[in-house]
Amino acid sequence: MFSLFGNDERRLDSTPFYLKPSGGTEEKEIAILSLTIGEIIRQASAAGREVVFLCIGSDRYVGDSLGPLVGSMLEDSQVPYKVYGTLKDPVHAFNLKGTIKEINRQFTEPLIFSIDASLGTKEEAGSVIFKEGPLKPGKGIEKVLPPVGDYHFAGVVNYIDPLPTSQFLNDTRLYTVMMLAQAIVKVITGTLPDEGRV
């Protein structure tokens, strides 16, 4: 569904964590981020909060398929967290509000990690950004959707240039989306004790 990160907006919120999957320090960065998120999850679980991963996007466009890919990979990994949004049952612009209502009806004060594709600068393309605070889905393609999540992952699948923003849905490489999805899943499965990993 695409989020949009601009430099001014980044300064308003907490400092984001950047992970560049093609970089040489990838495994170390994944381990550091897994430890950070693992601690957030442990604190929430101790407080009786259910952990939910809300994977947003559509499998109808390569550039917007990051969320459903991550959701399906998490289900395949049999993580002990609730996962919404898969290739089979995507969460997108038409059902996002209803899904948020369902999550809030089913759980009391859930800890929600939202995941979506995003657009950024040329330097950010191919990066995973993890940040405290809600994701603003649809902003990159000028859709008004509710912000969601206590924390969020944004996979920067492409960068902004003079083309119409919607063009990026068609011009994004599947390789980039897969690489970002695999990195996010590694981070999340890295939060599990060794015996909980599949």
Calculate helix-pair angle for 174-189, 26-46, nearest 10 degrees. Answer: 50
Range of weakest confidence among 13-27, 116-130, 136-150: 13-27
Range of weakest confidence among 86-95, 100-109, 135-144: 135-144
Residue-level pLDDT at 177: 94
Q: CA angle 145-147-153, nearest 5°? A: 115
Domain spans of the chain, in order of start:
3-191
What tens digit of pLDDT does each residue of 112-140 get?
999 999 988 888 889 999 999 999 886 65
What is this structure's pTM?
0.86
CB 65 within 8 A of CB 92: no
Residue-level pLDDT at 7: 37
Residue-level pLDDT at 14: 64
Helices (H), the chain: 7-12, 26-46, 66-76, 96-106, 168-171, 174-189
Q: Which CATH class is domain 3-191?
A: alpha beta
Taking the CA atoms of the chain, what radius of gyration do you get in angstroms? 15
Name the phi and psi angles at 116, rounded to 5: -155, 160
What tens digit of pLDDT does each residue of 158-194 get?
887 665 555 555 678 999 999 999 999 999 999 998 7
Strands 51-55 and 82-84, by their bridges, are: parallel
Q: Look over the chain and give the mean of its residue pLDDT values, rounded to a whole number.
A: 85
Segment 68-91 shows an average pLDDT of: 97
d(CA 184, CA 176): 12
Q: Which range has the top average pLDDT, 91-100, 135-144, 154-163?
A: 91-100
37: closest CA among 151, 125, 139? 151
